Amino acid sequence: MKFWRLPLDSEVHSIPHGTVRIIENRCKGCGFCIEFCPNGCLKQSKRFNAKGYHPPEVVSYAEDCADCGLCSLICPEFAIFTQLDEAKKITESDILKVSTRYSRKDKRYVKS
Amino acid sequence: MGKDVLTGEHFIHGDAACAEGGIAAGCRFFAGYPITPATEVAERMARRLPEVGGIYIQMEDEIASMAAILGSSWGGVKSMTATSGPGFSLMMENIGLGMMTETPCVVVNIQRGGPSTGLPTLVGQADVMQARWGSHGDYGCIALVPCSPQECFDLTVAAFNFSEIYRLPVFVLADEMIGHMSERVVIPRKADLVIVDRPQPKVGKDKYLPFESSSHMPAPMAVTGQGYHVHVTGLTHDERGYPVITDTVQERNVRHLVDKIRRNAEKIIRFETLGIEDATVVVVAYGCTARVARQAVENLRGKGYKVGLLRLITIWPFPSALIRSIAGRVKAFVVPEINYGQIAYEVERTAGGAAEVLLLALMGGSIHSPEEIEEGVAEFL
Amino acid sequence: MRVRCRKLQPFNKEAADDVIQKDHGLHPDDKYLKPGRIPHIWCPGCGLGVVLTTFIEAIRRKGLPVDKCAVVSGIGCTGRVAGYLDMDTYHTTHGRAIPFATGLALAKPDTSVTVFSGDGDLFAIGGNHLIHAARRNVNIKVICVNNFNFGMTGGQAAPTTPLEAKTSTTPTGNAEAPFNLPAVAHAAGAVYVARWTTFHPRQLVHSISQSLDKKGFTFIEAIAPCPTGFGRPNKLGSGLEEMRFYRENSEIRNGIDPGLAEIKLRGKIVVGTFSDVDRPDFLENYQNNVVSKVLSKGDKPGKGRAA
Ligand SMILES: Cc1ncc(C[n+]2csc(CCOP(=O)(O)OP(=O)(O)O)c2C)c(N)n1
Ligand code: SF4
Ligand code: SF4
Ligand code: SF4
């Protein structure tokens, strides 16, 4: 997915942004949140939690979290959720990010 | 809305009297499955409950019927079902759930001859031990045995009251003879009926323990929609209702279920006696058999024999202390029952060898004649 | 007889409350969960927690007050759902959640009664209750978590186990054909029938919300991974791999005849909302056909009738 210019209605839209919260000791390391986060915000950490699993952690481009809520919905352990931060206006760099983000993820989602 | 207490004199059979007793006691939900000789209870309920704002539902089987009345009881509605042997067997697992979750409700069993399909239309009294031990595991139970249509009414009311006080399914163990017998039944005025409703919690959600076990009484019962968010489970549970699968919690849980009946037995037990003070032989009988036994005892007493009658109204809890107290001063107990020995074993056990016990057994399909009982008693005169 | 028992250890409410304080309230869903009950007992990678979360989300979206909700479960891994929710919850006997819920829903018509149970519970031992509750159109919402086996007892065959699938009691492959759950529920009379997998949490939330709006018997099948009982013998891999499988092999077909939604081992999974109709529920029929007729007959309640 590539945009060749800033969408004309970018003024009226904003990108929600979330902060990911992980309750590490509840995680059983199933990997659902990591696998299915549409923005690839999460990865498995190297740490062990109290149960002996590797909880997820937020990757360096954490600002990508759009507070879509999928991770908290798909987590079977009530171990992860997000909090809505301030929404921001769409900028040209966001558009660029959208394209890279999708190519980072599963190839099936990249339409070119 | 129709009248819930049909004050006045009626000529009705025992099944109908059970239904009227239930409605008078406040029952507003009946779930059942037709079975002879208990069908007439359901039929009466189907007609009467909608008149008084209640619901009758015919379920797909007795398992469902028992489960449904537990559900409606937790919905805050007094509930009952009625069945006979085969259905009683099917109900057993959920009777256990009712015991474990301390759910008030009433189960009427109009006994017929068994085992299996047995004698669908004829009398039996062989579900007595099943009522006591039918569901797996340990629990205390209450079973009331009417000996007339009048008592079907009275004891169904009493069964509801016991179920609300002690929070458990209570059995009314009638039999085909009583269920199908029509007699005069006097229904008292509503104001003269003693009706007990389950106590409600008086503390807030964070203080309330729905399965409190420290006293020998059940906790007040918070039902659906009162904001207490009780978890009700058939698993071994702590006082909050949370499942805890440990021996220490099992110890508290099960002992509470047994002790709330065992320690209150004196308050629950009901019986009737005739001439046991001077008796050398006591006939112990219940249900339809007690009617014949009374006749036999009266005949013998008329002839000057010192014979007494102990008619059991509650068979569970069993009046062990009473039997023990009589046993020392009588020669024998004669126990007529329509089975091959159930209550007779209890009598023998509690008499502890102090008196002889003679079982007058019938396998079902007919009742004893007074002469049969008199002959049995005569062995000891 | 004299009796000697072990000394009782009394219940210590303070200690129990302490445990609760430690971990409760960290997650926004915690306010829908009974204090001190998480972590739950389910295996890593089990889909049950996902279905539970979607139920909570649906309740939240509908803004349903928890005092007006009750959940009834049978026995099984899924049967444990009830025990985690902070509302009036009932963990009944194996297969009997639906008749219990029937009694509850009729006694408390203002309460939204949801039955949460497993495929074995609802379709093997409890199958008869399910079809009859659907036929009567009792106002209960059924969420059936289908993991294609008996999870709790260690992975035996269920009435949903696909032909040829391996379980601990079908070591060479299942010789029986499975039920197609939405087709059974639909045929029996459910007014709302849907199927999703745990890979479709948003759709599940949507379907559960829709069913909460309906009056009558609704049925939602939630297909969920059971890596322990079903995944392992059938070499389906971890819960995550089963989820990936759902992603690759689910086909959304709303509105199709649920009879066409059969599931085969490693075959595609047709998901969607299959039917959504309206017909009077049990209580409405009871009111119209029984109560109003009885009352219109006049106020002569069974006066001394010899029945
Ligand atoms: C009457 C009775 N029979 C058998 C069992 C044992 N049992 C417990 S759970 C279960 C199967 C549960 O399977 P399912 O409903 O699919 O739930 P899951 O564990 O897969 O979520 C069985 C057979 C029981 N508890 N009660
Ligand atoms: S809220 Fe959405 S975008 Fe943010 S981490 Fe969770 S799944 Fe990813
Ligand atoms: S979904 Fe939950 S349990 Fe699974 S890895 Fe993520 S945080 Fe851990
Ligand atoms: S056995 Fe299966 S259904 Fe049960 S908790 Fe484990 S994964 Fe879940």
Considering only residues A14 and C252, tell me which one the structure prediction assigns the higher pLDDT: C252
Q: What percent of chain C has pLDDT over 70?
A: 96
pLDDT at A12: 75
Q: Which two tokens stand for residue B106?
A: 């009433």
CATH superfamily of C40-296: Thiamin diphosphate (ThDP)-binding fold, Pyr/PP domains (3.40.50.970)
pLDDT given for residue A17 in this prediction: 87
pTM score > 0.90 for this model? yes
Q: What is the pLDDT of residue A96?
A: 67
Q: What is the CATH number of domain B8-192?
A: 3.40.50.970
Q: Please report, as a single letter, which amino acid is at residue C226.
A: C
Q: What is the pLDDT of residue C16?
A: 83
B273-378 belongs to which CATH class?
Answer: alpha beta
In a domain, A1, yes or no: no
Two tokens at B154?
């009275």
Residue A60 lies in a domain: yes
pLDDT of residue C23: 81
- Rounded to the nearest angstrom, the minimum Cα separation between A33 and chain C is 10
Task: Judge A/B contact: 3 or more CB pairs < 8 A.
Answer: no
**Domain locations along chain B:** 8-192, 273-378
**Alpha-carbon distances of B88 from B38, B92, B95, B172, B173, rounded to whole Å:** 11, 6, 9, 12, 11
Mean pLDDT, residues C161-168 taken together: 98
Domain span at A38: 15-109
Interface of A with C in 67-86 (CB under 8 A): 70, 72-79, 81
Q: Identify whether the C-beta of residue C78 lies closer than 8 Å to the C-beta of residue C126.
A: no
The pLDDT tens digits of the residues spanning A18-59 come to 999 999 999 999 999 999 999 999 999 999 999 999 999 998
**Residue C162's pLDDT is what?**
98
Question: In this structure, is residue A5 part of a structural domain?
Answer: no
In ligand 4, the atom with minimum distance to the C-alpha of C154 is: 1
Number of domains in chain A: 1
Q: Find the mean pLDDT for residues C116-138.
A: 98
Task: Please write the tens of the pLDDT for every residue from B13-66.
Answer: 999 999 999 999 999 999 999 999 999 999 999 999 999 999 999 999 999 999
pLDDT tops 50 at residue C307:
no
Predicted confidence pLDDT, tens digits, chain B (381 residues): 789 999 999 999 999 999 999 999 999 999 999 999 999 999 999 999 999 999 999 999 999 999 999 999 999 999 999 999 999 999 999 999 999 999 999 999 999 999 999 999 999 999 999 999 999 999 999 999 999 999 999 999 999 999 999 999 999 999 999 999 999 999 999 999 999 999 999 999 999 999 999 899 999 999 999 999 999 999 999 999 999 999 999 999 999 999 999 999 999 999 999 999 999 999 999 999 999 999 999 999 999 999 999 999 999 999 999 999 999 999 999 999 999 999 999 999 999 999 999 999 999 999 999 999 999 999 999
Which of 41-80 (C) contact A at CB < 8 A? 42-50, 52-54, 57
Does residue A55 lie in a domain region? yes
Q: Which ligand is nearest to the CA of B235?
A: 1
pLDDT score for A7: 72
Q: How confident is the model at residue A108 (pLDDT cuts 50, 70, 90)?
A: very low
Three-class SS string for C107-159? HCCCCEEEEEEEHHHHHHHCHHHHHHHHHHCCCEEEEEEECCCECCCCCECCC
Give the residue, A94 or C155, on which the prediction is more confident: C155
Closest C-alpha to C239, from A26, A74, A73, A81 = A74
Query: How far is Cα C218 from Cα B31, in angstroms, rounded to an integer?
Result: 22
ipTM above 0.85, yes or no: yes
| Residue A61: per-residue pLDDT | 64
Nearest CA residue ID for atom 4, ligand 2:
A65
Does the pLDDT at position C68 exceed 70? Answer: yes
Would you call B117 exposed, middle or buried from its count of C-beta atoms within 10 A (0-12, 13-18, 19+)? exposed
* Domain regions of chain C by residue span: 40-296
Contacts of C among chains (3+ CB pairs under 8 A)? A, B
Residue B155 region by backbone torsions, left for phi larger than 0, else alpha for psi between -120 and 50, else beta: alpha
What pLDDT sits at residue A3?
59
CB contact under 8 A, A28 and C44: yes
Among B316, B325, B345, B341, smallest CA distance to B279 is for B325
Task: Label residue A107 by pLDDT band (50, 70, 90).
Answer: very low
Mutate which of C52, C145, C147 for ligand 4? The one with the most ligand atoms within 8 Å of its CB, which is C147
Residue A6 included in any domain: no
Asked, for residue A3, whether it belongs to a domain, the answer is: no
